[in-house]
Structure 1
Amino acid sequence: MEWGCGVRELANAIDQLSAEDPSDIPRGLLAEQLIELHWQMARLQAQIARRTYVRDPDT
């Protein structure tokens, strides 16, 4: 996988979510999506933390 490909895929996924109208989603499915979105947000925060603490090997 080329560098940055995952970030572009993430941006595309967010764009797809933005195009949806949450009021059109049945409540049960909306609840499932909210739980899944929170799990994915936690995973994304973990990746942000991994990249935040990368240190220069020369220091």
Structure 2
Amino acid sequence: MEWGCGVQELAIAIDHLSAEDPSDIPRGLLAEQLIELHWQMARLQAQIARRTYVRNPGS
């Protein structure tokens, strides 16, 4: 995978979510999406933490 490709794909996925109108989503599905979004946010925060604590190879 090309460097930065995952971040670009994430941006595109967020754009797709932004284009949706949550008021058009049935309540049951909306609840499922909220749970899934929170799981994905936790995964994203873990990746941010991984990248925050990267050390220089020579250090």
TM superposition score normalised by structure 1:
0.98
Determine what percentage of the aligned residue pairs are the same residue.
90
RMSD: 0.4
1:28: which partner in 2?
28
Q: Which runs of 5+ in 1 are unaligned?
A: none
TM superposition score normalised by structure 2:
0.98
Q: Which runs of 5+ in 2 are unaligned?
A: none
**Deviation for aligned residue 1:19:** 0.2
1:5: which partner in 2?
5
1:14: which partner in 2?
14
Give aligned pairs, total.
59
2:32 alignment partner AA: E
2:11 alignment partner AA: A
Deviations 1:15-55 (A, max 9, x none): 00000000000000000000000000000000000000000
1:56: which partner in 2?
56
Task: Tell me the distance in 2 between the aligned counterparts of 1:55 and 1:33.
Answer: 36
Aligned structure 1 segments of 4 or more residues deviating by more than 4 angstroms: none
